[in-house]
Amino acid sequence: MVALACILFAACSTKMASDKTENDTRPNILFLLADDLGYGELGCYGQQVIQTPVLDNFAKEGIRFTNFYAGNPVCSPSRAILMTGISSSYNNVRGNGGWLPDKEKFGRITIRKDDVTIAEMLKASGYQTAFIGKWHIDDQNDLSTWAFARGFDYAIQEQWGKTDDGYEYDEEMHWINAKEDSVYYIETEWNCKDEFRTELAFDWLDTKMEKDKPFFLFMSYRAPHAHERYIHNKELYADRGWPDVERRHAAKITLLDQQIGRMLKKLEEMGKLENTLVLFTSDNGPNAEMGHDHEFFNSNGDLKGYKRDVFEGGVRVPTMAYWKGKIEPGKVSDYIGCGHDFMATIADVVHIEKPSQSNGVSFLPILTGKSGEGHEFLNWEYHNLRQEPNPFRQACRIGNMKGVRYGLQNPIEIYDLSIDISENNNIAAEHPELVEQMEKIFRNERSENVHYPYGGASKK
């Protein structure tokens, strides 16, 4: 059932959509989301070993951000923040799971039904919308929370876990338009899962997309997430003498780079790339799971921490954009942005208002060479069910000053990122007024949420 806010938003957009149907020259939007890609895992961000020629060239042809952040240091909340334009401490999803009071257990939390997604926003404005890959902000029991029901005309997504009635999803099955159909990923037939998904996107572009209507295509890749472990290509980096888990990690990133190259080439061959805004980012920092050591390739450069940390290594992510004729090639920006800014920016690009729920800021002026208003501050609230004794984690950035706290029982730490990007020198004792300001932001700049009580919910 569509919530009232969505109905009102769609109604307000009806005339706007009809006005733009004929001869709609607004840009296509291609969103490329990597899964657990660290700040230092691309050549254009300082990587010395793993080869990423496509994305390195992407940076030369577009804009590369050095101060851009994921909305949260882990998958589900980061994706919810990106899709709704609502920052972490106001979002309904603040961890990969949350407390379910009615069931008295921890489980999946979804975006609110009355929160408008980017896809719903664009669809109401006359765009055709498609999603391929990892959604991860749904309830496996409830199809109304899957991508197809949240604004995508066409959606192919993976699913995993057990339903309440005991059915267990096969992660290799890709579900088309909720459960209208499905297609199975056979590992031995592809170099990697992202190659398979790129072919699925090509099928949509070739056979299902309306050629005279602008599109929003969201490619949610699997690499280099630790669970994307089946790399059929055994040759990449085989001569390096690395542990196999590290060879696979490097191969996943290079293969991802290749799939992005294929996607860009496809759009160019179709004559679509010239009028397409391409956005690239990662959902959080690098993983250190299933035997992989995030320090093996210096995945975060000089940044401290990794996935699930609110230190820079967990939230600062590689972010780039390409838009021919609009973005100056080779530009590097230190603009401070975050995942909840994508909705506002995309709304700005297509000349519509962002939904009122969003507290993101458009960085379109930065893309086009103008000055932008920026944020007064950025803050993060993350609830981690895995890591005791500090499952509740907070961070805040005001200018170059960063505050971090792991658990309410611990003091707030303060770092000056302009001279201490590695967050090694805690200067909280020298800035009591800043500690107080951060404390107020942590406590007041949030909404109450039964799934994520302030301070964290302990596992029973």
244-268 burial, b at 16+ Cβ within 10 Å, e below that, comes to eebbbbbbbbbbbbbbbbbbbebbe
Show the CA angle centred on residue 74, arms to residues 431 and 334, nearest 5°: 55
For residues 71 and 81, is the Cβ–Cβ distance under 8 A? yes
Locate the DSSP E strands across 161-284: 173-176, 181-184, 215-220, 276-282
* CA dist., res. 246 & res. 242, Å (int): 6
Q: Domain 380-444 - what CATH class?
A: alpha beta
- How many CB atoms lie under 10 A from the CB of residue 443? 12
The β-bridge partners of 393 are: 382, 406
The 3-state DSSP class for residue 154 equals strand
Among candidates 204, 199, 228, 217, which has minimal Cα distance to 33? 217
pLDDT number for residue 8: 36
Q: Which CATH number fits domain 29-376: 3.40.640.10, 3.40.109.10, 3.40.720.10, 1.10.3720.10?
A: 3.40.720.10
pLDDT number for residue 7: 36
Q: What is the torsion angle, in degrees rounded to the nearest 10, for the CA atoms of residue 429, residue 433, residue 434 and residue 436?
A: 100
pLDDT number for residue 165: 82
Residues of the chain with pLDDT under 50: 1-19, 460
* CA dist., res. 344 & res. 366, Å (int): 13
Same fold, 29-376 and 380-444: no
308-319 burial, b at 16+ Cβ within 10 Å, e below that, comes to bbbbbbbbbbbb
The β-bridge partners of 154 are: 130
pLDDT number for residue 387: 62
Backbone angles phi, psi at 322, to 5 degrees: -135, 135
Give me the sign of the Cα torsion angle 80, 81, 85, 89: positive
Strand duo 128-133 + 215-220: pairing:
parallel
Annotated domain spans of the chain: 29-376, 380-444
Secondary structure of 405-425 in HEC code, one letter for each residue: EECCCCCCEEEECCCCCCCCC
Spatial neighbors of 240 by CB under 8 A, at least 6 apart, are: 247
Give me the sign of the Cα torsion angle 133, 250, 382, 336: negative
Among candidates 12, 86, 52, which has minimal Cα distance to 340? 86
Edge to edge, the sheet with strand 28-34 lists: 181-184, 173-176, 154-158, 128-133, 215-220, 28-34, 276-282, 319-322, 63-69, 331-338
* CA dist., res. 220 & res. 231, Å (int): 18
For residues 316 and 303, is the Cβ–Cβ distance under 8 A? yes
Six-digit token string for 366: 């930065």
Q: What is the torsion angle, in degrees rounded to the nearest 10, for the CA atoms of residue 92, residue 282, residue 379 and residue 98?
A: 30
